[in-house]
Structure 1
């Protein structure tokens, strides 16, 4: 299967246009069968207040650097949420931001590693823009059973979700986790066109996982900031943990992910069991802990 290394503005517009019905866009209902799924190009142009030719050039990739007012109008017509709107703007500006596609930075400041210890007993880890597992506290590493068997550079939560046999048994809401993982990578690909770490993991998963490939083609875009995951963990049994994602300052997309549960609850008790074996210091993937 072919993969778009730098997700195109035109492709994004076409897919989003197909997902909006005339009724949702405020157009009068028509009788008979429509040949176009969703809105027609002419309808988007009319509702956005631009010429049909201008919008056609947008979808064909021939209209470079559309103005913010045009993008806002198109986002409104296509009913984009905040993540999708941000992605639209990033795609439109991508040709002028080559620095975003540079080699990924994996080193972490000591202060960030210290934060992993501070949040204990909450499981926590740091992910790169491509979901590489850069560092984790012991509970954070044990939260993903089997990932420690992979060498440090291969540890990646997207790769784990789709390719590690333990993941489907671990996540009680695997379909939800999988869809959110792909949507995050779509957003990362828009922010970092041609970034080797992002395109590398996406390319691998498109080839190795039919489910990833199908989700990738849906072109859903989300920045993962918080949520809940349901675990069936071999060491602790079932537990539901909420998580928050915090951007790490002065990095290119690093996020600190912290899991938690209500103190005194069965979920919290199960979470605590993750730390009953092993050391208590945060580890940096591929450096302080051998792969």
Structure 2
């Protein structure tokens, strides 16, 4: 993945293809050769010239004003997370000027202790979705939830991890959208280049989802897993940004609905877990 690739243009094209003419008050017509809006229609709705919008998509102008990007975000119906991501794709954005070397990620000691006291599967992941610290119940849920593993590599490249998820396609789509949100538009980061390059070579599914340019906020959603020991269980997954840290660390917690069959199965799984916390600093 080249540091000079046209991320802004790629994102604009992907968003343009998603918006139906009727969603923005235009007639669809019968002569459309591609899905979504035409460039001229986007330009009209954003109140910019068609030639200038073409330059943005082609990467010939990489420094549009925030006002223009916000107008485009409104045309595409982007939420605040998507809008913030779009604003971070210009060459002058602070995210694009971030230093190239990956930053050292350190899990606070108090969070390590908290993980071990939680009666729920939980782990800390860093900016690149590396597992930095994890409790035994999370590792019992998936052996790939272990310090030193990367969630992208595990979910896309490990057959045993893939087999855990009843809806693997939805899981992968959400994972990549969350990764885009985490790393923003920083194509100069060596770790981002490494991960995206490796996964693009090794996984057709990753290439497909990465090309969508989806960006997703941290949110809760249920995940159904087919565990080899306790069978199918559905858990809610929460991602909480850790306070009082300068790094982009997130605490991920899985929890069942109270009184559900999944809660009983998780209790059974807890009896198999080994009480030894794991941690690693990067």
**Normalised TM-score (structure 2):** 0.89
Distance 2:6 2:174 in 1: 18
Q: Which residue of 2 aligns with 1:187?
A: 181
Unmatched segments (≥5 aa) in structure 2: none
8 A Cα contact 2:102 2:189, kept in partner: yes
Residue 24 of structure 1: SS of its match in structure 2? helix
Cα RMSD over matched residues?
A: 2.3
1:147, distance to aligned residue in structure 2 (A): 5.2
Q: Which residue of 1 aligns with 2:12?
A: 13
Distance 1:255 1:22 in 2: 38
Q: Which residue of 2 aligns with 1:69?
A: 67
1:269, distance to aligned residue in structure 2 (A): 1.5
1:128 pairs, out of 126, 133, 139, with 126
2:161 pairs, out of 167, 190, 196, with 167
1:88, distance to aligned residue in structure 2 (A): 0.6
2:264 pairs, out of 262, 269, 272, with 269
Q: Which residue of 1 aligns with 2:240?
A: 246
Q: Which residue of 2 aligns with 1:234?
A: 228
Within-5 A mapping of 1:25-44: 25-30=24-29, 32-44=30-42
Q: CA distance change for structure 1 residues 36 and 165 in 2, over 3 Å: closer, same or farther?
A: closer
Residue 25 of structure 2: SS of its match in structure 1? coil
Between Structure 1 and Structure 2, how many residues are aligned? 279
Q: Which residue of 1 aligns with 2:277?
A: 282
8 A Cα contact 2:19 2:37, kept in partner: yes
Q: CA distance change for structure 1 residues 94 and 270 in 2, over 3 Å: closer, same or farther?
A: farther
Unmatched segments (≥5 aa) in structure 1: none
- Is 1:212 aligned with 2:206? yes
| Farther-moved stretch of structure 1 (128-137 vs 256-265) | 256-265
Residues 114-149 of structure 1, C-alpha deviation per residue, up to 9 Å, x if partnerless?
22123x21100011111111110111122113555x
Q: Which residue of 2 aligns with 1:200?
A: 194
Residue 23 of structure 1: SS of its match in structure 2? helix
Q: CA distance change for structure 1 residues 72 and 146 in 2, over 3 Å: closer, same or farther?
A: closer
1:145 pairs, out of 130, 143, 166, with 143
1:175, distance to aligned residue in structure 2 (A): 1.3
1:275, distance to aligned residue in structure 2 (A): 2.3
| Farther-moved stretch of structure 1 (37-46 vs 239-248) | 37-46
Residue 90 of structure 2: SS of its match in structure 1? helix
Distance 2:281 2:160 in 1: 21
Residue 187 of structure 2: SS of its match in structure 1? coil
Within-5 A mapping of 1:50-65: 50-65=48-63
1:95, distance to aligned residue in structure 2 (A): 4.5
